[in-house]
Amino acid sequence: MNLFSLANFLILNAFLLTLMLEAGTAVLLLAGKGYKERLKRYVMPMWEIGGTFLVFFIVNLEVTYPKLIGVAGYIYILPALAIAALLLFRNAFISYSGYISSEKDEGRYLKVYAAATLLITIITAATLASVLTGAGADIANNTLNITAMFLNAAGITAILGLLIISVIFGYLFYRGDAVMKPVLSAVVFLLLLGIEYHFYPRVLGSMSLLQYMNNSAISGDAALITVVMGSFLSVALAYFIYIVYIKNEQAY
């Protein structure tokens, strides 16, 4: 695995981490089991950061594997547009919920947000699994069999795995006595995924991921931009999290 794939993979992980936290939150919101105030306080900035990481991942994917876009864009048009549409829907509801004064409506809006987020998680898990294994994808005809994409061993385990980890992650996170444990468990999960990915850098079942790599001069400059801008924004993000969470936590 080279450095560019590693960067792309790390960004995917950052997105998956926020998605897992959101999916965990979504399940807790739908189950309606307490922690509502805490949920609201954490979910508010989290959904926006998750969304930005998704865009970051997609554009980085375009930079790193431009030729994959030509293939995957065709095959995965349905799940990709479905995720995009659900995102629009979900962002609308979560932002409305913050500006609605009635408690009852707010709860309802949050539930819609939660349902949309869970759907996004499920579709994302199945799509990622299918991109790796090629389940449901017919490369010769550029088509996708949706049922086959979801209903195969890799798809089902990816969905269940992501959901189970999300729920435990969310539950431990919001119980609040130990923030480190759930974060660590998620990191371990992502590391395992990374090791698997390292030995299996293939997409669509048998194609080598490397054949889609960008071989133009773009890569070097893009790497420089990633490092410079990425560091600047990480500092900004850390500062913001410090103000909102740590200082806020002390005030409680």
DSSP state of 32: T
Q: Give the Cβ contact number of residue 246 at 10 Å.
A: 10
Q: Closest CB to other proteins among 187 and 229?
A: 229
Q: How far is the CB of 63 from other proteins (least distance, A)?
A: 5
Q: How far is the CB of 215 from other proteins (least distance, A)?
A: 8
CB 159 within 8 A of CB 126: yes
Q: Closest CB to other proteins among 59 and 192?
A: 59
Q: Closest CB to other proteins among 91 and 185?
A: 91
Q: Closest CB to other proteins among 149 and 186?
A: 149
Q: How far is the CB of 77 from other proteins (least distance, A)?
A: 4
Q: Closest CB to other proteins among 92 and 154?
A: 92
Question: Using CA atoms, how far apart are residues 237 and 49, in angstroms rounded to an integer?
Answer: 9
Burial 41-80 (b: 16+ CB within 10 A, else e): bbbeebbebbbebbebbeebbebbbeebeebbeebbeebe
CB 22 within 8 A of CB 169: no
Q: How far is the CB of 68 from other proteins (least distance, A)?
A: 8
Mention every residue, 6+ apart, whose C-beta is less than 8 A from residue 29: 36, 39, 43, 110, 111, 113, 114
CB 171 within 8 A of CB 28: yes
Q: How far is the CB of 164 from other proteins (least distance, A)?
A: 27
Q: How far is the CB of 31 from other proteins (least distance, A)?
A: 25
H/E element, 145:
none
Which residue ranges make up the site for other proteins (CB under 8 A)? 45, 48-49, 51-52, 54-56, 58-60, 62-63, 66-67, 69-74, 76-78, 80-85, 87-92, 94-96, 98-101, 142-144, 214, 216-218, 220-222, 225, 229-230, 232-233, 236-237, 240, 243-244
Q: Closest CB to other proteins among 39 and 94?
A: 94
Closest CA to 232 of 112, 6, 224, 157: 224
